[in-house]
Structure 1
């Protein structure tokens, strides 16, 4: 399984470039980064670390409900050139870059300024061993905070309770994943930063303590929380575990697994930035974090309806409710849970149970419960409810749409399984005629997903609705938002032989693209194929 594999460390450029795809001139870009690092720091880099952005074909906002998703790494990525920095014994200690584990971080983008910071060791009073590290990470949307977030997890995981100090490091960052686009530039930044500090400190050497791809995903997930984002894990898993030519079926229950799912031949993915910037850290209280709370509370209410046992302080998820309802006996004993066929069957039969999430006599015409109604539906006291669901996250809402959110989660989880089954069936009996039929079916599922995201989960926006419709009119099999929503990107499944014409039609029809040409247009509207996941090149 991909989660148990070691993180690839390349020493051969030909092997590495062959795994990255062909849409960008990778060799030239990596070489230019290494040259610029040497100019700025007076030495060659020891490593270049890569983490790609990702596009989610289908399965939006269901990862934190522990249902499977189908993302793929894209060819656009974050690269970090890095090398350890020697500190001479007589260096002035009051200067930050002379401190143990200090970081000098620069960015090829001139708008991002040089950053110098160092963690502070906490030393036990009766022991010389370091018991922990402090690193100030303001919850602000600054590029260096994602670097710090990656560093913090490595410090906490590998240097707490040890006399060993982290290595001082110089690093130079560049990236081609558009920020705020829904293509997970933040996850790519945190994954690449985490991987940089692991590599520099010698934590990727083969042996009994080998760090696996699954380890990196879990560490990066925790790290991203340091900048205020409660991620479900899809973004990090896609960035780390993806393989070329396939989407990645990622499941989170009963444990993290990732299985490549080959896409039918004859189609390409086209990403289009709506140019409405999506930033879930800024809009979380009324967007992303609110949806997390609504989904979790909906799971508890549904569990009461289905007479499923829930611990008094437990934040049960919708996937766990389904599992307990069907008595998945092997869960928690190393088992895989129910098979995909059984899950497809039960997801198609939950409509009536989900109706219980509509509050009786609601004050809101679209099935939104007030705080008081929601607490009553949960069966908890107000005190316990706030402790379990609101003490750890900020939300801003007067009504909570438990019914619509659960309706989306279950229907979207079903679409993911149907999408995957179509792909697997096609791989077993691939013909040009069959592929065309299946691509149209996959497009239909993507279109249904967009409708559900817009109407039931309410994470779309006018720009995304317009852009997906333009894409369908321009010849896409299907088009939907990708990422958290509320702005950012769409992904379209487009006939391979029509990509150039498709891009021209979309560029002409979407008003915000007016006047964009050449590189400026390709920054926001581009074709990609599924790419390889995160890796390290060692010079």
Structure 2
């Protein structure tokens, strides 16, 4: 099953019923899709050829461990990014270049954008310039702009399917709308990049029939391309968000593994389990805060992996950016390209958690920041020269820090990876016991188990990984006091949303209690409240709807 999901083609549908599984299920969405198609005609004077959909996601458990190559457990949500798109046969007067784009957004704060890619001459391209890429688009990573995500998606399509420079991409009209709140931790940015990547693939005829010698991308390949694309806006994403948006199944959560290669398998959730997303209303902006947050954590976990590997006597290449998952494999004698399996992985993780003291500084045991090391100490602990260290760990990313919390970051990664495996196993065990006679008692036990894992995850995110914030801490505490079995931040953190496990019959009461107890919610009613706190079911992954013109 794992291989089957990643090898599947991106679905290209012709009706909304195909997208949502039935005519009845599609009816609540029809007005929004119809309005988008009608607005496209008003703005561009012709009908849209495709509408592309990419959902946001909620990560049930497994935060900040995907880029260490450990498995995670997200699910696609019903909220999404939609892009209506079509080719433009006669480019605007000021956009004569091949592949020019007119991008508009239904949200009034996002202004109309016009841009075109530049095809470089082969002699202009060297290893030092964009790794030999023929096409270039200006993306301002210093200032977060909505069209940067559109450009990021386009970049990958250009350099994957038009790299020889012989064929020219189509000029494109785009109209974007989204129901995933930006900066909420529900992965609006990944959904935007996935949707724009699919839009440019669709308009250029790269999803159906006979395409160029690169062939049609399957779901796994699209995940890899979307990951690379999102890095162009300045975020070193680990792949969970893209995989969840692309490969999710409407009936279950998705266990996504990244080692030895990306794979995914469905994990059925216990009957009666509902996950409620609550927005802290603190905007979590991965790109703008990456130097002190997301990107810094990537570097800290990578350096921790090298130091731990050295202490265990493992063979690491001089310029190898070994991950913590790869260290686990080397320590366990795992053969290259093989996966030891979840049971053995759990045991090895528990063993290695006891060997992390090597990541603490030796000369400041009594200081408040005793687990933080300076840049100079970190370089020395790595066993690398300053120049090699900079090349391997700092030359490709911008970070800001005076001390690096290697021990705490590694402790979070290992313990969180174990919690994911325990969560997965509990869900699978519950599915096999679903026919048991004492259903209510059994459900209560499994909910308590899963809730405790979520609570433990939140504590680790807050204390060891420091990716929570006061508002998220408040929300998760209120959630457990309002009847949730467990609650944790979801997404990169530093703001955004929490996810709470609630019994199906108590969702309405839970949301009302949260409204009354979280101050920013108290004056919200109706749609305004639904925007910030809502229950969600696992949704379908990204797709394309081809419209009859």
Q: 1:402 to 1:171 in 2, by over 3 A?
A: same
Counterpart of 2:193 in structure 1 is 190
Counterpart of 2:536 in structure 1 is 528
Counterpart of 2:318 in structure 1 is 312
Measured after TM superposition, the shift of residue 162 of structure 1 is 3.5
Does the Cα contact within 8 Å between 2:353 and 2:415 map onto a contact in 1? no
Counterpart of 1:244 in structure 2 is 250
| Partner residue of 2:9 out of 6, 11, 19 | 6
Structure 2 residue ranges without an equivalent (≥5): 125-131
| Partner residue of 1:469 out of 471, 477, 484 | 477
Measured after TM superposition, the shift of residue 39 of structure 1 is 1.6
- For 1:485 and 1:508, locate their aligned partners in 2 and report how far apart those are by CA, in whole Å: 24
Counterpart of 2:112 in structure 1 is 114
- For 2:461 and 2:167, locate their aligned partners in 1 and report how far apart those are by CA, in whole Å: 48
Q: 1:22 to 1:444 in 2, by over 3 A?
A: farther
- For 1:216 and 1:303, locate their aligned partners in 2 and report how far apart those are by CA, in whole Å: 32
| Partner residue of 1:434 out of 442, 445, 450 | 442
| Partner residue of 1:34 out of 27, 37, 43 | 37
The equivalences for 1:348-359 within 5 A come to 348-359=350-361
Where 1:506 maps in the other structure, the secondary structure is helix
Measured after TM superposition, the shift of residue 137 of structure 1 is 1.1
Counterpart of 1:343 in structure 2 is 345
Does the Cα contact within 8 Å between 1:2 and 1:213 map onto a contact in 2? yes
Measured after TM superposition, the shift of residue 16 of structure 1 is 1.7
Measured after TM superposition, the shift of residue 328 of structure 1 is 1.0
| Partner residue of 1:47 out of 50, 69, 76 | 50
Q: 1:472 to 1:21 in 2, by over 3 A?
A: farther
Does the Cα contact within 8 Å between 2:73 and 2:253 map onto a contact in 1? yes
**Bigger shift: 73-82 or 161-170?**
161-170
**Bigger shift: 40-49 or 231-240?**
40-49
Counterpart of 1:538 in structure 2 is 546
Measured after TM superposition, the shift of residue 494 of structure 1 is 0.8
Measured after TM superposition, the shift of residue 20 of structure 1 is 11
Measured after TM superposition, the shift of residue 460 of structure 1 is 0.5
Counterpart of 2:234 in structure 1 is 228
**Bigger shift: 464-473 or 517-526?**
517-526
- For 1:14 and 1:245, locate their aligned partners in 2 and report how far apart those are by CA, in whole Å: 16
The equivalences for 1:340-379 within 5 A come to 340-362=342-364, 364-366=367-369, 367-379=371-383
Does the Cα contact within 8 Å between 1:267 and 1:495 map onto a contact in 2? yes
- For 2:14 and 2:530, locate their aligned partners in 1 and report how far apart those are by CA, in whole Å: 31
Q: 1:537 to 1:306 in 2, by over 3 A?
A: same
| Partner residue of 1:445 out of 442, 453, 465 | 453
Q: 1:57 to 1:20 in 2, by over 3 A?
A: farther
Where 1:292 maps in the other structure, the secondary structure is helix
**Root mean square deviation of aligned Cα:** 1.8
- For 2:23 and 2:118, locate their aligned partners in 1 and report how far apart those are by CA, in whole Å: 38
The equivalences for 1:27-426 within 5 A come to 27-87=30-90, 92=93, 95-96=94-95, 98-124=96-122, 132-139=134-141, 140-206=143-209, 209-329=215-335, 331-332=336-337, 335=338, 337-362=339-364, 364-366=367-369, 367-426=371-430
Does the Cα contact within 8 Å between 2:17 and 2:25 map onto a contact in 1? no
Where 2:287 maps in the other structure, the secondary structure is helix
Q: 1:19 to 1:397 in 2, by over 3 A?
A: farther
- For 2:137 and 2:402, locate their aligned partners in 1 and report how far apart those are by CA, in whole Å: 36
Measured after TM superposition, the shift of residue 211 of structure 1 is 1.2
Count of aligned residue pairs for this structure pair: 527
Could you list the runs of 4 or more consecutive aligned residues of structure 1 that deviate by over 3 angstroms after TM superposition?
19-24, 123-126
Please give the TM-score of this superposition, normalised by the length of structure 2.
Answer: 0.93
- For 1:349 and 1:206, locate their aligned partners in 2 and report how far apart those are by CA, in whole Å: 51
Q: 1:417 to 1:124 in 2, by over 3 A?
A: closer
Does the Cα contact within 8 Å between 1:21 and 1:75 map onto a contact in 2? no
**Bigger shift: 356-365 or 32-41?**
356-365
Counterpart of 2:128 in structure 1 is none
Measured after TM superposition, the shift of residue 536 of structure 1 is 0.3
Q: 1:23 to 1:482 in 2, by over 3 A?
A: farther
Does the Cα contact within 8 Å between 2:19 and 2:26 map onto a contact in 1? no
Residues 256-291 of structure 1: CA deviation (Å, up to 9, x unaligned): 001110100111111011011111111111111111
Where 1:204 maps in the other structure, the secondary structure is coil
Q: 1:286 to 1:50 in 2, by over 3 A?
A: same
Where 2:410 maps in the other structure, the secondary structure is helix
Does the Cα contact within 8 Å between 1:105 and 1:170 map onto a contact in 2? yes
- For 1:3 and 1:19, locate their aligned partners in 2 and report how far apart those are by CA, in whole Å: 24
Q: 1:113 to 1:297 in 2, by over 3 A?
A: same
Counterpart of 1:15 in structure 2 is 18
- For 1:272 and 1:131, locate their aligned partners in 2 and report how far apart those are by CA, in whole Å: 41
Does the Cα contact within 8 Å between 2:17 and 2:23 map onto a contact in 1? no
The equivalences for 1:475-494 within 5 A come to 475-494=483-502
| Partner residue of 2:506 out of 498, 502, 520 | 498
